[in-house]
């Protein structure tokens, strides 16, 4: 397994869920982590504390990835503190629930915000990171979704943003290969956790339990993936072969088969 000791990573959207899980796991492997959050300062502080408790140096930074100046500042701060950058994990994302049949409900505001965060923010972060990743080779990872490959998702805009993120993953992988930068994505299905409970389950424990059971029954492996499962998949790209790039790894226990 490739050692990640003393490498440097930026994890966007790391105040909860997948971002918090992968930041913590990276810290446990000796990676120094810039923990980014958008609005949830308490969550960001908790993630940073977990990284420090794991024995890592960690930096907390607020920033909206839809703002290119914030993306540049994150990269600059990480390099200023640690002198290098090895891993960028584009995890920050947003969604607004709009039934696919409600075309009028899919407003310009919903489209703009969804694409700005889920797609353009990932591009801004990648563009800022590439000059530093190029110095020794490195990784850009995307947290995408099966919504980008299916017709299922919280809105048409969300599905389109993730489909575009998948395309960005592959086109960056091709264009950055000569700089020894690997670019890959993990595409989870429904992720068991607080977000799913509060949105899909609407905060109702009984309703959420039924929803989770339904997904478990539909999936060949009878499992709804967790944030830690997604972190495992992301880590596999970091610690595995140096010759894996442009890959879109579906992580849904077989649900979309």
Same domain, 220 and 230: no
Same domain, 51 and 176: yes
Same domain, 64 and 164: yes
- pLDDT > 90? residue 202: no
CB atoms inside a 10 Å sphere around CB 56: 21
Q: Domain holding 42: CATH number?
A: 3.40.50.720
Same domain, 218 and 233: no
Instruction: Return the C-alpha torsion angle 226, 53, 65, 232, nearest 10.
Output: -30
Same domain, 46 and 148: yes
Rounded to two decimals, the pTM is 0.95
- pLDDT tens, residue by residue, 129-151: 999 998 888 999 999 999 999 98
Same domain, 211 and 244: no
- pLDDT tens, residue by residue, 42-69: 999 999 999 999 999 999 999 999 999 9
- pLDDT tens, residue by residue, 211-229: 888 888 989 999 999 999 9
- Is 201 among the domain residues? yes
- Is 91 among the domain residues? yes
Same domain, 125 and 149: yes
Beta bridge partners of 88: 10, 140
Phi then psi for residue 10, to 5 deg, are: -110, 130
Q: Are 106 and 155 in contact (CB under 8 A)?
A: yes
- Is 50 among the domain residues? yes
Structurally, the chain folds into a number of domains equal to 2
Q: Are 229 and 252 in contact (CB under 8 A)?
A: no
| Listed residue (195, 249, 181) closest to 226, CA to CA | 195
- Is 257 among the domain residues? no
Same domain, 103 and 211: no
- Is 1 among the domain residues? no
Same domain, 137 and 105: yes
Domain region containing 206: 192-224
- Relative to beta strand 138-143, strand 8-11 is unpaired
Q: Are 132 and 75 in contact (CB under 8 A)?
A: yes
- Is 116 among the domain residues? yes
Same domain, 80 and 17: yes
- pLDDT tens, residue by residue, 67-124: 999 999 999 999 999 999 999 999 999 999 999 999 999 999 999 999 999 999 999 9
Measure Cα distances from 177 to 7, 89, 133, 228, 247 in Å.
20, 17, 12, 29, 13
Same domain, 242 and 197: no
CB atoms inside a 10 Å sphere around CB 105: 14
- Is 24 among the domain residues? yes
Same domain, 215 and 94: no
Phi then psi for residue 178, to 5 deg, are: -75, -5
| Listed residue (172, 221, 119, 244) closest to 229, CA to CA | 221
**Active site positions, annotated:** 158
- Is 2 among the domain residues? no
């Amino acid at each position: 397994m490739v050692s990640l000791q003393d490498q440097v990573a930026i994890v966007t959207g790391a105040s909860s869920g997948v971002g918090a899980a992968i930041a913590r796991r990276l810290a446990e492997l000796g990676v120094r982590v810039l923990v980014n959050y958008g609005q949830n300062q308490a969550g960001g502080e908790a993630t940073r504390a977990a990284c420090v408790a794991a024995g890592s140096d960690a930096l907390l930074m607020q920033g909206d990835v839809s703002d290119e100046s914030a993306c540049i500042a994150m990269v600059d701060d990480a390099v200023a503190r640690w002198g290098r950058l090895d891993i960028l994990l584009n995890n920050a994302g947003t969604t607004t629930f709009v039934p696919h049949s409600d075309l009028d409900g899919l407003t310009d505001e919903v489209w703009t915000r969804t694409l700005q965060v889920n797609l353009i923010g990932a591009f801004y972060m990648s563009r800022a990171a590439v000059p530093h990743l190029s110095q020794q080779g490195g990784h850009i990872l995307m947290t995408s979704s099966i919504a980008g490959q299916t017709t299922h998702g919280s809105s048409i805009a969300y599905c389109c943003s993730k489909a575009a993120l998948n395309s960005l993953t592959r086109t960056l992988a091709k264009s950055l290969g000569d700089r020894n930068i690997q670019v890959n994505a993990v595409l989870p299905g429904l992720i068991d956790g607080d977000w799913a409970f509060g949105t899909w389950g609407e905060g109702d424990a009984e309703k959420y339990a039924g929803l989770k059971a339904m997904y478990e029954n539909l999936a060949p492996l009878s499992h709804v993936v967790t944030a830690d499962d997604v972190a495992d998949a992301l880590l596999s790209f970091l610690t595995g072969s140096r010759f894996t790039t442009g890959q879109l790894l579906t992580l849904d226990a077989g649900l979309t088969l």
